[in-house]
């Protein structure tokens, strides 16, 4: 194989698993308690697809990671609550999901506000299901994810943000990301990378192996 072609393919693989910011925090999550849930926010073409204008390389890569890793969380026993931005509820096939597709067992929740806790019945749904810990990912980090996560803390939920499964589209100023992350951290939000959390889940099913972690890019 031509060395330039090999380098290009290797770069694509590394870029897939190397978000702009990697979290370092290790979180111990006891899935056996049955009170944790995934919260997948606005993984839609409008926000993530580069062909739609707002999406970009970051949102595309993040969406591919979401699509690759969410099945492993489901296999570990975490139910997924999939939030999408819409003025009304839609059938799954009518929602403009981008790359990622929900499973039939996932709960779909339409919201008409940046925060799911202000634009939907998600609080009522989560309380009824006795979910106390939310593991969040999606778009946009500086807008809907931020506001949903902050409101979740206001309502007493523990929140873990999958930092490598979040991103911002072209309508969100990345210069504000550090500020938003600091605000979330002060409110008790934990940051972790998806594979790190999967490896630390105490009763992860052995018949559902983790996706292979690629070699880390050498430091310069």
Could you tell me if residue 8 is inside a domain? Answer: no
Mean pLDDT over the full length of the chain: 86
Strands (E), the chain: 36-41, 80-85, 107-111, 133-139, 158-167, 190-192
Domain that holds residue 182: 32-200
pLDDT band at 63 (very low <50, low <70, confident <90, very high): very high
Could you tell me if residue 75 is inside a domain? Answer: yes
Instruction: Give the pair of three-digit tokens for residue 195.
Output: 């594979």
Domains in the chain, number: 1
Could you tell me if residue 142 is inside a domain? Answer: yes
Could you tell me if residue 27 is inside a domain? Answer: no
Q: pTM value?
A: 0.82
What is the rounded distance in angstroms from the CA atom of residue 102 to the CA atom of residue 80? 8
Could you tell me if residue 22 is inside a domain? Answer: no
Q: Which residues pair with 111 in a beta bridge?
A: 85
Instruction: Assign residue 51 the CATH number of its domain.
Output: 3.40.50.850
Question: pLDDT per residue over 86-135, tens digit each?
Answer: 999 999 999 999 999 999 999 999 999 999 999 999 999 999 999 999 99
Q: Are 105 and 75 in contact (CB under 8 A)?
A: no
Q: For residue 220, what pLDDT is reported?
A: 47
pLDDT band at 29 (very low <50, low <70, confident <90, very high): confident
Judged on CB neighbours under 10 Å (0-12, 13-18, 19+), 211 is middle
Q: Which among 91-95, 170-174, 193-197, 207-211 has the top mean pLDDT? A: 91-95
């Amino acid at each position: 194989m031509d060395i330039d072609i090999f380098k290009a393919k290797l770069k694509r693989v590394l870029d897939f698993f190397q978000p702009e910011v990697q979290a370092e925090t290790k979180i111990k999550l006891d899935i056996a308690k049955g009170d944790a849930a995934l919260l997948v926010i606005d993984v839609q073409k409008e926000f993530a697809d580069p062909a739609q204008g707002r999406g970009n390389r970051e949102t595309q890569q993040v969406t591919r990671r979401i699509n690759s890793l969410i099945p492993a969380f489901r296999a570990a026993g975490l139910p997924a609550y999939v939030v999408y931005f819409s003025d009304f509820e839609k059938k799954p096939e009518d929602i403009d999901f981008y790359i990622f597709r929900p499973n039939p067992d996932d709960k779909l929740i339409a919201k008409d506000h940046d925060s799911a806790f202000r634009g939907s019945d998600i609080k009522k749904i989560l309380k009824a299901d006795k979910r106390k810990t939310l593991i969040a990912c999606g778009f946009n980090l500086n807008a809907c994810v931020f506001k949903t996560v902050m409101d979740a803390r206001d309502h007493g939920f523990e929140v873990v943000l999958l930092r490598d499964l979040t991103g911002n589209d072209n309508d969100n100023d990345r210069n504000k990301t550090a500020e938003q992350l600091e605000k979330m951290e002060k409110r008790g939000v934990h940051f972790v990378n998806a594979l790190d959390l999967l490896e630390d889940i105490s009763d992860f099913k052995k018949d559902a192996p983790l996706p292979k972690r690629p070699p880390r890019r050498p430091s310069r």
